[in-house]
Structure 1
Amino acid sequence: MAQMNLPRKNKATPRRTQGNLFPVWPRSQSFMIIASWNCRGAGGRGFSRILKEIVNKHHIDVFCLVEPRISGNRADTVMRKLGFSHWIRIEASGFAGGIWCLWNDAKIKVQYLSSNTQILHCSIFDSNSQNSSLVSFVYGETTPLKRKGLWDSISSLAGVVNEPWILLGDFNAYLSPHNKTGGGNINWNSIHDFNNCINSCGLQEVPVVGDIFTWERGAIKERLDWTFCNSHWADANPTTKIFHLLRFKSDHRVTFLVDTVANPSHIKVKHFRYNAAWAMEESFSQLVAQSWENSTWQEGSKNFAISALA
């Protein structure tokens, strides 16, 4: 059962979505920004400060956190410190699972529709733009067998949704071998199941600006975090794009969805500047060596910028 911090009149019990919950309004130049992040634990020191900085810098309206690694009263305490007035929470089980959706009620209205351990399905209404959409936040299981439940859930929703719908989060899977560099063998069965779900449901990937990889550990990089939409969403929001931020205390990047016409500031190029104080760190020489090892100058420069700011 989802845990919710909502105004009393907005509380809801789980049910399947059936048809239009809100009228679908034309797009405007004020588009809500939705972010998703596998934070790998929300209970650590400084987490609330990091999250607030991300939210304030990128003007995020709705933030989904997965794998928070805390639940119950401790999760309540942390969520109250994150700067959002309302939230819906699918409880974590120890270090596994957990989906949090957070927002401020002054601008955004979120209605809970249904959930299980791998997906949280909501309707979101943006009072500024007068747009509404169905949004599914995802945290896929780490094993292909358990992920079959996620593919079944997405397929069931696709059969009843007839309005703009977007899905985003950590699917813990990739669509092709090109979504992975380094590491062990490719799991072709997992790739097949993922592709079969997306194609049979008529979903399409929201275009990514910049580096496609969202997870990194050592020399291994993978794209595990995705954003998909149906044709209704794509037709109503043709200029939306996905951006992957640098990593913050997690091996996953923050993913956020933004309309590049309504929010052009997000497509500005930000220049990397070297900080001379880094040379005083004991690990600096090792960081430089790792960044350019088996890489071109351009690749090494990019690796160094990412590692130095991580």
Structure 2
Amino acid sequence: MVWNCRGVLSPKFRQTIMHMVKKSASDILIVTETRIRGDCAKEITDRLPFDGAIRTDTIGYTGGLWVLWNSAAVEVSHIASTEQEIHDTVKVSSSNLSWLLTTIYASPRFQERSILWNNLMEVAANHNLPWIMMGDFNEVLMGSEKFEGRPSLNNAITSFTTSAKVWNKEVFGNIIARKRNIEARLRGIQVANGTNPSQVLIDLEKLLLRDYAELQRIEEEYWVMKSRIEWMVQGDRNNTFYHTSIISRRKRNQINALIDSNGVWLKDPGDLATHVREGFMSLFTSNMEMGFRRP
């Protein structure tokens, strides 16, 4: 019997377990999505009506698998386990019947699910026992398999991508063209005002400047959001984006030129160092002299 409890800390968890065991008389119970790990998980399983237990850690704040059994009825031998799977051989005590039992709660993240599938192929290649897989793969094959709830992941991504493209084209995608159009109109108005000024053109210029400022704000928000998304997705990875970001940050933090008190630009690294050092010395010397002045 398999039960996705969605968290064992529910007040009715133990009551539900006792009712299920009494009603089904099951000697093996698989509990998925326990959302708890370590000693706390052991304390709970020790109070349940099973004398055998195998537990896995959670995947962050989700997941968690338990295999519980009555050793008087079945012999369960643990083979291997990860956060997403538990592999055991099960032998019925009253017969010679044995099979391979795999309990699954797949990660909602694609990369980790890929690891699960590779592990399952490895198990399939190394065992020839009857094989039962039970649990939650966290995915559907086709949208038609769902009768209610949210659409499948692939359909949701396709729908969102289509809507995002339409929005980008109709709303944001025209910002650059709209800016160019306003810039051209502003140039025309300014030329006209220079030769034949009128209040109508002045009012129109104010209106266009307000629209232009709003477009600049929207564009700035877009680029800020885009940079944050790229950093969240790729920022901590040792890839081209990461190294480009570091190089760009170093360039922003560098001082390549300074202007001295005579209005001369200093670009030589030695001249820059001397100018900065003398500036700080002058600053602190002036402060000390001010501090020792007497009325």
TM-score, L = length of structure 1 = 0.47
For CA contacts below 8 A with separation 6 or more, give which structure has more relative contact order: 1
Q: What is the TM-score normalised by the length of structure 2?
A: 0.50
> Which of the two has greater strand per residue?
1
Structure whose alpha-carbon radius of gyration is higher: 2
User: Which one has a larger percent helix, Structure 1 or Structure 2?
Assistant: 2
